[in-house]
Amino acid sequence: MQDKVIVITGASSGIGEKLAEVAVARGARVVLAARRAPELAEVAARLGEGALAVPTDVTRRADNEALRDQAIARFGQIDAWIANAGRGITRSVAQLTDEDLDEMITMNVKSVLYGVQAVLPHFRERGRGHVIAVSSMLGRIPFVSIRSAYSAAKAALNSLMTSLRLELRQELPGIHVSTVLPGVVATPFGNNARHGGADSRALPNAQPVEDVAAMIIDLIEHPRAELYTRPEMREFAGRYYGAEDVGVLEDQPPFNFIPVRR
């Protein structure tokens, strides 16, 4: 990890902020991206000279390209690109509007695609690199119905990352592609959901953000295709997709869990 250069989107708070802290503590240099410039600058200032803040709207292709360029201009290279920015939603399928679906796809899928396409030429030139997308367990099993379009967008992201991994596997084995599948993490993520939502920090059994960040940084040192931040979630996915009738499981927890708005 020493002297690796890691780009982290969604770095002004939550998982992204903790990723930056863990990475710098292990000797890496970080390029921090988010729309909230003052908060981003505070994080970078706290981390010292090994951190560069680049205010970025990841839903804009040009911003991702500028982020890449500033990272290379400052540190000379990029070793890993962590696409962590995203946004949730609180709305049932029956209530979804065009705007709801468009924002979920733009924020959770297109933003990652723009980042991948921005950094991939640099990785190709170097013959190595690592793209990590922070997805969600809801993209694997959509067990919270009011997360509807968010779950659908993360499912699309999972497929996109698998396709990228298969695309690069033979031609460029030095470029790793990983998808992270967290469950509920103790961050303000829920507060920022479209149409409001519960504070994720108040939900039962929310995973400490420090644990998730450490696992993702470990992934850079020990690459693999997918990372479930909780082993029980991997077991849950195996049971669900191995079931003769998934509808039987959908009558059981956690499918009947509904986050409370606050």
Asked if 93 contacts 186 with a C-beta cutoff of 8 angstroms, the reply is no
Q: Is the pLDDT of residue 28 over 70?
A: yes
Question: How far apart are the C-alpha atoms of 203 and 209, rounded to whole Å?
Answer: 13
pLDDT tens, 55-71?
Answer: 999 999 999 999 999 99
Give the pLDDT confidence score for residue 261 in this predicted structure.
Answer: 46
pLDDT at 258: 57
pLDDT given at position 112? 98
Report d(CA 1, CA 19) in Å as an integer: 13
The residues annotated as belonging to the active site are: 150
**For residue range 71-86, what is the model confidence (pLDDT) as tens digits?**
999 999 999 999 999 9
For the chain, the structural domain boundaries read: 5-249
Residue 229 has pLDDT above 90, yes or no: yes
Position with higher pLDDT, 135 vs 198? 135
Residue 262 pLDDT grade (very low, low, confident, very high; cuts 50, 70, 90): very low
Residue 215: per-residue pLDDT? 97
Structure confidence at residue 244 as a pLDDT band (50, 70, 90)? very high
Q: Which of 19, 9, 12 is nearest to 229 (CA)?
A: 19
Closest CA to 78 of 111, 105, 55, 54: 54
What's the confidence (pLDDT) of residue 248?
Answer: 92
Of 176, 175, 187, the C-alpha closest to 225 is 176
- Report the pLDDT averaged over residues 29-58: 97
What is residue 206's predicted lDDT score, i.e. its pLDDT?
Answer: 86
For residue 61, what are its two tokens? 């292709």
How much is the average pLDDT of 116-121? 98
For 217, residues 6+ apart whose C-beta sits below 8 A from its C-beta are 1, 19, 22, 23, 26, 28
pLDDT score recorded for residue 257: 60
C-alpha–C-alpha distance, residues 10 and 42, integer Å: 14
Asked if the 5-249 domain carries CATH number 3.30.70.1060, the reply is no
pLDDT at 199: 72
| Mean pLDDT of the 6-30 span | 97
* Higher pLDDT among residues 170 and 117, named by residue: 117
SS (H, E, C) the chain: CCCCEEEEECCCCHHHHHHHHHHHHCCCEEEEEECCHHHHHHHHHHHCCCEEEEECCCCCHHHHHHHHHHHHHHHCCCCEEEECCCCCECCCHHHCCHHHHHHHHHHHHHHHHHHHHHHHHHHHHHCCEEEEEECCHHHCCCCCHHHHHHHHHHHHHHHHHHHHHHHHHCCCCCEEEEEEECCCECCHHHHHCECCCCCHHHCCCCECHHHHHHHHHHHHHCCCCEEECCHHHHHHHHHHHHCCCHHHHCCCCCCCCCCCCC
Give 173-222 pLDDT, tens digit per residue. Answer: 999 999 999 999 988 787 888 988 777 877 778 899 999 999 999 999 99
